[in-house]
Structure 1
Amino acid sequence: MCGILFSIQDSHGTLTDEYSRTWATLQELNSRRGPSAQDTHTAHVTQGQEATLTFYGAVLHLRGDTVCRQPHVAQSGNVLLWNGEIFDGIAVDQHENDGEVLMAKLESISEEPSSDYPKAFLSIMDKIEGPYAFLYFHASSKRIFFGRDCLGRRSLLWHRSGEGNMNLPFILTSVGYSLFRSNLLPLDEVPADGIYSMSLDSKERTLTHYPWLSALEDQPEASLCMHLPFGRVNTTLPTEDQLPPAFATDLKFDQAHPEIVPAMTDDMKHAVSQLIEILGDSVRRRVQDIPRTGMPHDARVGILFSGGLDCLCLAALADRFLPKGEAIDLLNVGFENPRSEKAKAAEEALALKRLKKLQLANGSHGSPSTLDASNGNAAKKFSVPDRITGYESLKELQRIAPNRHWNFVEVNVPFEEATAQRSEILERIAPLDTVMDLSIAMAFWFASRGVGQIKMENGETVPYISQAKVLLSGLGADEQLGGYSRHKDQFAAGGWEGLIHELQLDLDRISTRNLGRDDRIISDHGKEARYPFLGAHVVALLSSLRVDLKVDLRYPRGVGEKILLRHMARDLGFVRSSSHWKRAVQFGARTAKMTESGRSEIGQAVVNRSSS
């Protein structure tokens, strides 16, 4: 994982204060993403309107035996800025750096005629399976290429001053800042809808777009597009004889029913077998060959661990592919939430009052104070839903993988600390700026920082800082397997057809809703998020499966949503945890509605930061 930064400036123009401030700010922010090495390179385009190209790369060492500096600069004058991972499609040996391997591939086509070069370039990029954002300058054709992978798993922002105007800067960057920063150039997310190119060989600077297209879409210029590595969601509707019987409709949807295990058809058994194999391979590719940069006992892999179904399955699969003597960090975050504490105290006071009345009515004078005896216990502040679920799931992990050392890291965030870091986190999520984005981002920012405590075997609690540079996330499971309440709503309103439509919509918009934001947040600590559920082979499998094999919302909550993953969890040995249902991170960690002021506080927090 890296931070990449690039700009085009008029060679004869005077650098404005606004641009200089912007570049200095972005260089500092990108350096956080790559603490292993940083470097800068400058090139000039002398035909057309003369321009200066500036490249900056910051590297987090996660591939190969040695740190490989960026930008990658060839003798031909070609330059590559690469923020990505090649997990398949192009062979990368465990001792090699994937950026260097990609650069070598691109150099092999460097002498292609200018008119044929885009086709040759796209054919190489089309092979890559893995997350990426990149910028490539092809010197002989005076053209740049840039873009994100088809799911947008790596962040890329741009500032563009308008086509045809070379007097103002064009900027690409992995990370940005809030829109409230009026003294800096505005930034927007580069859409994850294809690869872009720009010719610098004329006064007119125009963008060419090479879109991601599926095999089913019209491709009038099929050679000049990127090909999606997976198809659209299967629209085949299940027939009655393909469905196992549903249970009684009087079961409450909002209650757990761990005793209910739907019958497995032969189709379902085959789907479970496929998912274990393909998701397991996706996990393997994402945890193997991570360089050891710390102490021998440090965990190299961490898991963003709420105790839910998705992260639990990833933990069990990671256990299969990491050396048995190696620890895995389970990062579980909990926030002190004054509003929640106030509401809980009110509930306890009401219960106490009712109990006292009941005792008086029965002639009893016993003290009911035991109800709130532990109310002042500091640990109780952080006993959030995800902490409770996390410990439950930890017990099951320890049972099925007793030889693994699981570091259950309690990341406890006092309200004062969350408030102090709010403006910093708002900067990282930009250009997104909603209250929900902030709530989710706060949980991920503190969890990925990894500062917390663990319990020793003797029960003693000791401070702990996770050194894991790779963090596995279960993102993508709910979108593809129907884990959200909106899937239940769509099924109720539109049946299987409505559910299929919602699943396709979730996959189509995942880059704009989640991934760029999460990449910017987690990488702020020099960590890299990896998403096994979004590996191309996993998405291809899940898209191809008939809808009822993934989600069957005829059943109640904790049974029918993500039914394929629940069957898989039972196959892996989990019993109780297989009935856990989706709880959004902002509610599980209690970052939602921490104060009364809500949205208005976001703008004020960043204004205060900008003026300080």
Structure 2
Amino acid sequence: MCGILFALATQEQPICQTEWDTLKELNTRRGPDLQNLRQIHISNCNKQGLDLSFFSTVLHLRGAAVVPQPRCDPNTKNTLCWNGEIFGGIEAFISAKGSPIVLMDTLENASTEIEILSVLQSIEGPFAFVYYRASVRKIYFGRDCLGRRSLLWLRTEKGAFMLSSVGKPKTNQDDSGVWEEVPANGIYSIDLDGDVLDRQNQSGGLPRACGISLHLFPWTYVAKKDKLDMLKQGKLSFPFPRLNATLPNLEPITDADTEPVIDQSMQKAIRDFTSVLGESVKRRVADIPYLDAKGQARVAILFSGGLDCICLAALANQYLPLTEPIDLLNVAFENPRSEKAKSQKSSNKKPKKKKEEAEEQVGAAELTERSIYDTPDRLTGRAGVQELRRIAPDRTWNFVEINVPYSEAMEHRQRIIDRMFPLDTVMDLSIAMAFWFASRGKGAVDAAANQATDYESRARVLLSGLGADEQLGGYSRHREAYRHGSWERLVQETQLDVDRISKRNLGRDDRIMSDHGKEVRFPFLSTCVVDWLCKQPIQLKMDLRYNRGIGEKILLRHVARELGLVNASRNWKRAIQFGAKTAKMTGASRSEKGQHKLMQE
């Protein structure tokens, strides 16, 4: 994980120094191990003086030594700011060298724009970047096609054009512009020798870079044989196809509550998916340096005990040395609204006899403060870790119970709102709050055994199960689609979910969790996994003829059973804001909906 901060400025449109300094500080939280600044001054063919400022911060996650950024070739003066991981796609990739070195070396060998774009579209892994090609005075920037890393741009009329991994909320009317997420719809370029547009006649909806127009090379669904032709047309190829739209011809079932018999095609799918997903997990847990004592975990799982995350935990167990622990981060919140609702429900019950009251008083005295943290995710998490300990008894599984009092949640509320910016809805905050405290990793272990010990996870790499529901039919909307339009409508709904992954909230989640100097990785969103799943017939991934807990994500449920996770294979989908109890933490606005904007305080 790294932080990127870039500015293109002129004498007429300078950098706002206060804003620049604030963004440097915020990006340093993402990359606390090393920070560097590189500045370049050029005059373009329009005799316009341009100042280019590249600032990078580095979180050391690969190799024996920290790789400085920005990368700059002393001969060509080409400059790269990189925030991402290369897990495949570039043939020369050697993990020990570090992604920025490998990518810079590969880009230096690219002699044309088509070759540069070909390198970037071939990367398997999450990324955001800024790359300056000095010989042609062009700047390239963008995000991977699934939008797994954050990158924002500053839309402004009077100041410098800026890009940053994290933004700064507007605090007064003098702030220079509006921060927005760079759409993950392609790679953008700025030709510094390009014409300065008439500000009154700008079209296309894109910001300008000191008056210079931006050009987009869009991601496109393309057959493999046509990739070079599409590059010549200025289009990039998605690393996966559109969904297999072949519709099954299956008979109605008589018992929707019974697990289906595994036929030959499903058995092959289980075997292949376990291999593909396992390889994705392997690449994401390999080569993480031992920065702390050897007895500490290098990898943590964002762990609710649900189907997606417990499968990742079981697979990570296969690829990490048995001598090191794995942290399972489980977060729960004190929610005054839900506690009040419980209290009101209790008070509406019939009066009890004196003996019953006395027994209840004894029971209440025995309750610990932790009882308010027995949220749905806490209960499934405890059950899940017991199952992991059963299938992998030689592994130390640190089940980290992260209890967040209401007062502490409110203490950090504004910081979390600032980090998730520019997203600003009630639901964004509910989810961001859960991820922020979970990724911080401060809690207790062995709490269930009444031997609670304070514990802080030092793992810098977090694994998340995000992406499983979108591709495997985990949402209620998939069941509704099937109910209204059978398999054809279900394929359409799943395709829509895959298409909009890049437009959803991965940038927000990246900004939230990196605030603690952590990097989140998404094995289900490896483009190799997405590619494999897109090619499979719909009925192998989900079979919504069967009831909840069986039909949705049916393929992953079978994989879970193959891994020995029999109990977890029946778990249902539960959104984190409900599982951890961050939704509507106060009773002040019962009519408030998730899509509503946050009220200004």
2:518 maps to which residue? 527
CA distance in 1, matches of 2:492, 2:325: 41
- 1:180-329 residue pairs with structure 2 within 5 A? 182-184=173-175, 185-204=177-196, 205-215=212-222, 221-223=230-232, 224-240=234-250, 246-248=253-255, 260-329=258-327
Structure 1 residue 39 corresponds to structure 2 residue 36: yes
CA distance in 2, matches of 1:181, 1:277: 53
What CA deviation, in whole Å up to 9, does each residue of 1:482-501 have, x standing for no partner? 11111111111121122111
Structure 1 residue 102 corresponds to structure 2 residue 103: yes
* Gap change, CA 1:296 and 1:137, over 3 Å in 2: same
**2:218 corresponds to which letter in structure 1?**
P
CA distance in 2, matches of 1:295, 1:181: 46
Deviation at 1:343, TM superposition (A): 1.2
1:374 maps to which residue? 364
Structure 1 residue 406 corresponds to structure 2 residue 405: no
Deviation at 1:46, TM superposition (A): 1.3
Deviation at 1:597, TM superposition (A): 3.5
2:329 maps to which residue? 331
CA distance in 1, matches of 2:347, 2:131: 63
2:127 maps to which residue? 132
1:588 maps to which residue? 579
CA distance in 2, matches of 1:503, 1:436: 22
Deviation at 1:457, TM superposition (A): 9.8
- Higher mean C-alpha displacement, 465-474 vs 287-296: 287-296
**2:86 corresponds to which letter in structure 1?**
I
CA distance in 1, matches of 2:119, 2:331: 40
- Could you say what secondary structure the match of 1:463 adopts? strand
Contact 1:158 1:189 in 2 (8 A): yes
- Structure 1: gaps (5+ residues): 252-259, 360-364, 606-612
CA distance in 1, matches of 2:472, 2:34: 39
- Could you say what secondary structure the match of 2:356 adopts? coil
What CA deviation, in whole Å up to 9, does each residue of 1:216-235 have, x standing for no partner? 59987443221111111111
CA distance in 2, matches of 1:601, 1:156: 22
1:254 maps to which residue? none
Deviation at 1:387, TM superposition (A): 0.3
| 2:24 maps to which of 14, 27, 30 | 27
- Could you say what secondary structure the match of 1:498 adopts? helix
- 1:454-473 residue pairs with structure 2 within 5 A? 454-455=445-446, 459-473=450-464
Provide the TM-score with structure 2 as the length reference. 0.91
What CA deviation, in whole Å up to 9, does each residue of 1:141-160 have, x standing for no partner? 00000000000000000013
What CA deviation, in whole Å up to 9, does each residue of 1:453-491 have, x standing for no partner? 111797411110100000000000001001111111111
CA distance in 2, matches of 1:183, 1:408: 47
* Gap change, CA 1:535 and 1:181, over 3 Å in 2: farther
- Higher mean C-alpha displacement, 79-88 vs 177-186: 177-186
CA distance in 1, matches of 2:402, 2:597: 25
1:80 maps to which residue? 80
- Could you say what secondary structure the match of 2:136 adopts? coil
- Could you say what secondary structure the match of 2:96 adopts? coil
Deviation at 1:431, TM superposition (A): 1.2
Contact 2:181 2:422 in 1 (8 A): yes
- Could you say what secondary structure the match of 2:178 adopts? coil
Contact 2:13 2:160 in 1 (8 A): no
1:610 maps to which residue? none
State the identity as a percent: 50
1:604 maps to which residue? 600
Contact 1:303 1:331 in 2 (8 A): yes
Contact 1:45 1:200 in 2 (8 A): no
Deviation at 1:202, TM superposition (A): 3.8
Deviation at 1:507, TM superposition (A): 1.2
CA distance in 2, matches of 1:381, 1:33: 33
CA distance in 2, matches of 1:248, 1:221: 49
Contact 1:179 1:431 in 2 (8 A): no
1:119 maps to which residue? 114
CA distance in 2, matches of 1:521, 1:557: 32
CA distance in 1, matches of 2:231, 2:364: 67
- Could you say what secondary structure the match of 2:599 adopts? helix
1:93 maps to which residue? 94
- Higher mean C-alpha displacement, 443-452 vs 481-490: 481-490
CA distance in 2, matches of 1:322, 1:452: 23
Number of equivalent positions: 571
What CA deviation, in whole Å up to 9, does each residue of 1:337-360 have, x standing for no partner? 001111122233344x27x3xx7x
**1:107 corresponds to which letter in structure 2?**
E
**1:150 corresponds to which letter in structure 2?**
C
CA distance in 2, matches of 1:29, 1:182: 21
CA distance in 2, matches of 1:2, 1:182: 30
* Gap change, CA 1:513 and 1:597, over 3 Å in 2: farther
Contact 2:401 2:447 in 1 (8 A): no
Contact 1:331 1:410 in 2 (8 A): yes
- Could you say what secondary structure the match of 1:437 adopts? helix
**1:27 corresponds to which letter in structure 2?**
K
Contact 2:194 2:213 in 1 (8 A): no
**1:603 corresponds to which letter in structure 2?**
M
CA distance in 1, matches of 2:238, 2:597: 41
Contact 1:157 1:174 in 2 (8 A): yes
1:480 maps to which residue? 471
Query: Cα RMSD over matched residues?
Result: 2.0
1:609 maps to which residue? none
CA distance in 2, matches of 1:601, 1:377: 36
CA distance in 1, matches of 2:408, 2:50: 45
CA distance in 2, matches of 1:480, 1:15: 45
1:389 maps to which residue? 380
CA distance in 2, matches of 1:261, 1:370: 43
- Could you say what secondary structure the match of 2:159 adopts? coil
**1:33 corresponds to which letter in structure 2?**
R
Provide the TM-score with structure 1 as the length reference. 0.90
Structure 1 residue 60 corresponds to structure 2 residue 59: yes
**2:476 corresponds to which letter in structure 1?**
S
CA distance in 2, matches of 1:160, 1:345: 49
CA distance in 1, matches of 2:489, 2:410: 41
Deviation at 1:15, TM superposition (A): 3.8
Contact 1:374 1:380 in 2 (8 A): no
- Could you say what secondary structure the match of 2:57 adopts? strand
Structure 1 residue 141 corresponds to structure 2 residue 132: no
2:201 maps to which residue? none
CA distance in 1, matches of 2:180, 2:320: 39
CA distance in 1, matches of 2:503, 2:575: 18
Deviation at 1:38, TM superposition (A): 0.5
What CA deviation, in whole Å up to 9, does each residue of 1:401-435 have, x standing for no partner? 00110000001000001111111111111111111
Deviation at 1:123, TM superposition (A): 1.3
What CA deviation, in whole Å up to 9, does each residue of 1:83-118 have, x standing for no partner? 010000123323211101111111123xx3xxxx22
* Gap change, CA 1:188 and 1:278, over 3 Å in 2: same
- Could you say what secondary structure the match of 2:312 adopts? helix
CA distance in 2, matches of 1:580, 1:422: 31
What CA deviation, in whole Å up to 9, does each residue of 1:346-405 have, x standing for no partner? 233344x27x3xx7xxxxx74155457338631111110000000001110000000110
